[in-house]
Chains A and B, each alone.
Chain A
């Protein structure tokens, strides 16, 4: 029997009302299920809706955004309708987030050890002394050198890499079931990035938790995830096991993401539709990617494709995916 997914997002529509205009739809019918223990990557560019998805998963859609349709179930609980108290009990404990830019988001006037200790203290109802002890343990587990001394350090006294480790310690302190990493390594030096990602992967796997790696950098998912979801304009356009995806991506947008790494401008151009300055605007009912797609045909303009399964355990939102062959 397949275990119930730890995060179950079904037909999620999130929109932000606009003044005297159509509401901005950040997410349009997203389906995503993460089973326990899986590492899945969510790749998209700015404005694709990936951060909104993370917030919705945490029940923290920023007002005035609302969940128009669909639901988000975390460990069986509906995060869109959860009470404030109940949500606070879940966040940081069963569902944790590793953020980017830690030095801006850690409390600047509280020592880092104490910040880890706070999470343990308020979530696990242990004594302060016990919370401090576990915090120190976490500092050692994330391989911060000289952990005893660094316990009393303030965020501004740490380097970017060390602050990121502290954030990982905070996220994992209560053994969560799902860790969401929101662009957690952007801004870090590339050697530090590898160290941090390795650490995150090891520690999450040790605790048997799942991880959702949200990133703009598709290369990270190739090495740290087993499944990848590509999001474009609020919709998931491709969902596939990593090995299959990087071997033979199916959606034209996925290919443009990979083409960005190519050293051949000619091949890249093959997949880029030149902007047509005076072309008629794409009718609303069609595929959201049609404006940029080199493979589009009549049907794409008229009918928005649904996410449908293909061979090899993947799904694609495209009428004419690039590769329909069986594995």
Chain B
């Protein structure tokens, strides 16, 4: 137990400087975005004087380092500034939008694992045959298809033509009242509240975006699972297990278990990526997620949402990686030495 506690403590201690570095770099990058925020805010017809006043008020005229220190002090207090587009504190905006992104990404990735992992194991086991060919082509396609294109195709097929899915406008039918927020996920909250109408509606709206993300991200998971399982199936200890006459499913289970660390790595990388990387899907489905929010900020030189998004997703990523490392700890006893 002690090495575990020490390990976690060490990692948490490192989170602070990591976060600091991320915010520092992001701050300077964001300042490089072209476009004068004051002009954006007041419009092209604003007078030079009001522009100057606004710049002064917003602190854009102060030296860069001073702006940075201000910002850092604010962040330390939990204040991520205000978005001039929504006129609300960024923190509030993000708390409202992040659950949407997380719901989408989490379910999407779960579907990706459900598709990719078993196919990967099957493909590794059966060196020839249909399954193997399917897996090979699938991996190829999934890497080549753009996610927004697939999203549009799915909308066309399932909404326009078949009419099985409700219109891709947000997370839930506008006429229905969303359930009380407990987890932030509409599906889970509807379930908890026993609100079947809300549940049906939110599921319907979730179906296609999750399907999109799932189908596309299953590709890398499949390939990684397949190649790692193939490698472990030809390793020394599997050969020895065969010599000991262990049943085939037991040997396969041991081989897959040895392949898990790499698969877990790629899943965590995908998760971190998708938090911002699902933005195109969010836009197509008008999801109202955090990625969309950040992109709007970039387009309108609204800096606080952008920085706020970076801070949020950085924290999320770091937490994800910590959890993944703990999973490694559990999977491989050699790390505990």
Q: A residues engaging B (CB < 8 A)?
A: 58, 60, 84, 87-93, 96-97, 99, 101, 104-110, 118-119, 122-123, 154, 156-157, 170
Given the interface contacts A107-B241, A109-B258, does A92 sit within 8 Å of B246 by beta carbon? yes
Q: Which of B238-260 contact A (CB under 8 A)?
A: 239-248, 250, 254, 257-258
Chain A hits for B248, CB < 8 A: 84, 88
14 CB < 8 A contacts A-B: A58-B243, A88-B245, A93-B245, A96-B244, A97-B243, A99-B240, A101-B236, A109-B258, A118-B246, A118-B250, A122-B246, A154-B334, A156-B333, A157-B337
Would A91 and B245 count as touching, CB distance under 8 A?
Answer: yes
Chain B hits for A156, CB < 8 A: 333-334, 337
Given the interface contacts A60-B242, A90-B245, does A109 sit within 8 Å of B331 by beta carbon? yes
Shortest beta-carbon contacts, A-B, top 10: A91-B245, A92-B245, A92-B244, A105-B240, A88-B245, A105-B236, A107-B237, A154-B333, A97-B243, A104-B236
Chain B hits for A58, CB < 8 A: 243
Q: Which of B308-337 contact A (CB under 8 A)?
A: 331-334, 337
Chain B hits for A88, CB < 8 A: 242, 245-248
Question: In the bound complex, how far is the Cα of B242 from the Cα of A91, in angstroms?
Answer: 8
CB distance from A62 to the nearest CB of B (A): 9
Given the interface contacts A105-B237, A107-B254, does A60 sit within 8 Å of B334 by beta carbon? no
Using A58-B243, A60-B242 as known contacts, list a sample of 16 further A-B pairs with CB atoms less than 8 Å apart, ordered by residue number in A: A60-B243, A88-B242, A88-B246, A90-B245, A92-B244, A97-B244, A104-B236, A106-B240, A107-B254, A108-B333, A109-B258, A109-B332, A118-B246, A123-B245, A154-B333, A157-B337
Chain B hits for A60, CB < 8 A: 242-243
> Which residue in chain A gives the minimum CB-CB distance to B243?
A97
Chain B hits for A104, CB < 8 A: 236-237
Question: In the bound complex, how far is the Cα of B246 from the Cα of A88, in angstroms?
Answer: 6
Q: Which of B215-240 contact A (CB under 8 A)?
A: 236-237, 239-240
> Which residue in chain B gives the minimum CB-CB distance to A108?
B334
Question: In the bound complex, how far is the Cα of B249 from the Cα of A118, in angstroms?
Answer: 13
Instruction: For A106, give its contact among B237, B245, B258, B331 (CB under 8 Å).
Output: B237
Question: In the bound complex, how far is the Cα of B332 from the Cα of A84, in angstroms?
Answer: 30
> Which residue in chain A gives the minimum CB-CB distance to B261?
A109
Question: In the bound complex, how far is the Cα of B239 from the Cα of A101, in angstroms?
Answer: 13
Would A122 and B250 count as touching, CB distance under 8 A?
Answer: yes
> Which residue in chain B gives the minimum CB-CB distance to A62?
B239
Given the interface contacts A104-B236, A118-B250, A122-B250, does A109 sit within 8 Å of B244 by beta carbon? no
Chain B hits for A122, CB < 8 A: 245-247, 250
Chain A hits for B242, CB < 8 A: 60, 88, 91
Would B237 and A108 count as touching, CB distance under 8 A?
Answer: yes
Given the interface contacts A99-B240, A104-B236, does A109 sit within 8 Å of B246 by beta carbon? no
CB distance from B244 to the nearest CB of A (A): 4
Question: In the bound complex, how far is the Cα of B332 from the Cα of A278, in angstroms?
Answer: 57
Would B245 and A89 count as touching, CB distance under 8 A?
Answer: yes
Question: In the bound complex, how far is the Cα of B247 from the Cα of A109, in angstroms?
Answer: 18
Instruction: For A119, give its contact among B246, B257, B337 (CB under 8 Å).
Output: B246
Given the interface contacts A156-B334, A156-B337, does A105 sit within 8 Å of B239 by beta carbon? yes
Chain A hits for B244, CB < 8 A: 91-92, 96-97, 119, 170
CB distance from A95 to the nearest CB of B (A): 8
Question: In the bound complex, how far is the Cα of B250 from the Cα of A90, in angstroms?
Answer: 16
Chain B hits for A89, CB < 8 A: 245
Question: In the bound complex, how far is the Cα of B244 from the Cα of A87, in angstroms?
Answer: 10
Question: In the bound complex, how far is the Cα of B331 from the Cα of A316, in angstroms?
Answer: 54
> Which residue in chain A gives the minimum CB-CB distance to B333?
A154
Question: In the bound complex, how far is the Cα of B232 from the Cα of A19, in angstroms?
Answer: 27
Chain B hits for A154, CB < 8 A: 333-334
CB distance from B247 to the nearest CB of A (A): 6
Question: In the bound complex, how far is the Cα of B151 from the Cα of A267, in angstroms?
Answer: 83
Given the interface contacts A84-B248, A118-B250, does A92 sit within 8 Å of B237 by beta carbon? no
Question: In the bound complex, how far is the Cα of B246 from the Cα of A93, in angstroms?
Answer: 10
Chain B hits for A87, CB < 8 A: 245
